[in-house]
Amino acid sequence: MRENGLNHLLSIGTIATSFFLFGSFLLLAQNFGSFLGSWEKKVQIILYLKDGVSETEVLRLQERLRDEEGIENIRYISKRDALEVFKEDLAGYGGVLDGLKEEFFPASLEMMVGSDFRTPEQIRALATRLNKTPQVEEAQYGGLWLERLSVVLYILKWGSWVLGAVLVMIIVSVTANTVRLTLYNKGEEIEILKLVGASETVVTVPFYLEGGLQGFLGATGSLVLLFFIFHIFSLKVSPFLSLYFGQLRLSFLPIELVAAILGVGMISGLLGGIVSVRKAWGT
């Protein structure tokens, strides 16, 4: 590898860049997924009740909802409670809120969604069904944004694997070209080795290993860079984002995935070496 240093360095750099992109996608998908998971636990449905629904009707409705599959922790918020909550939330405005009357606020039933009912489709179906209840003016649920973010997560996850497949082709091609260049540079040496009776293994294996090593070093470089950036992000940016999204628990790629990335890098590089040698010698 020494004779062809710059080309090897460029090749390793290209592989590292490709793996960095792939790793970034995976890392983003993983943390986004766990972020969505933690928010799914907090998903609730609010049923705003029509004016004039009596306390008795509310109690009966609560009873019925308790039997409904997927609903937990039902809490009744009367018009008065709603006004109090509003005033508490906007306490800083003082006297401006004094004239507000409880008639302006709808009574509501707030409920959590059970852990088996937290997919966006299930939440939407449940809310749609509850919306048809005669006492209910409107059913609201915080799942719409969750639904949209789930689509983003889906794209991220699949995007990672599509990118991964493209990446393998890039690595095979990049290493094959670099190994081909080495083959060209060492053409005379190889010819001599063949003529003096060196076995095919002795002549070809160094080139296979060269490809494998390039892939491995490229993958290692990308993971080191990714970890470094992840570490900086966790320290500097994560606390800032926590202000808006609550406590963020970021995690780096699991060790199995790190090992898989290194393995894929090495195998793709090895494949590049094999492709190049086979092409050059037609064997």
Query: For binding to another protein (CB under 8 A), which residues are involved?
Result: 3, 188-189, 191-200, 202-203, 283
Q: Which stretches of the chain are DSSP H helices? A: 5-40, 55-67, 79-89, 120-131, 143-185, 187-195, 200-236, 238-245, 255-281
CB proximity list for 73: less than 8 A, separation 6 or greater: 111, 112
* Least distance CB 4 / another protein (angstroms): 12
Closer residue to another protein, CB minimum distance, 199 or 251: 199
Q: Which residue has the tokens 């628990």?
A: 249
Task: Please identify, using beta-carbon distances, which residue of 72 and 191 lies nearer to another protein.
Answer: 191
Residue 56 or 201: which CB sits closer to another protein?
Answer: 201
In angstroms, give the least distance from the CB of 191 to another protein.
Answer: 7
User: Rounded to an integer, what is the distance from CA 136 to the centroid of its chain?
Assistant: 37
Cα 105 to Cα 137: distance, rounded to the nearest angstrom: 12
Nearest CB to another protein, comparing residues 73 and 199:
199
Residue with the two structure tokens 């670099």: 178
Asked whether 75 and 1 are in contact (CB, 8 A), the reply is: no
- Least gap, CB of 185 to another protein (angstroms): 10
SS3 71: strand
Residue 281 CB, shortest distance to another protein, in Å, is 10
Residue 171 Cβ vs another protein, minimum distance, rounded to whole Å: 29
Is 50:124 a contact under the CB 8 Å cutoff?
Answer: no
Which of residues 193 and 229 has its CB atom nearest to another protein in the complex?
A: 193
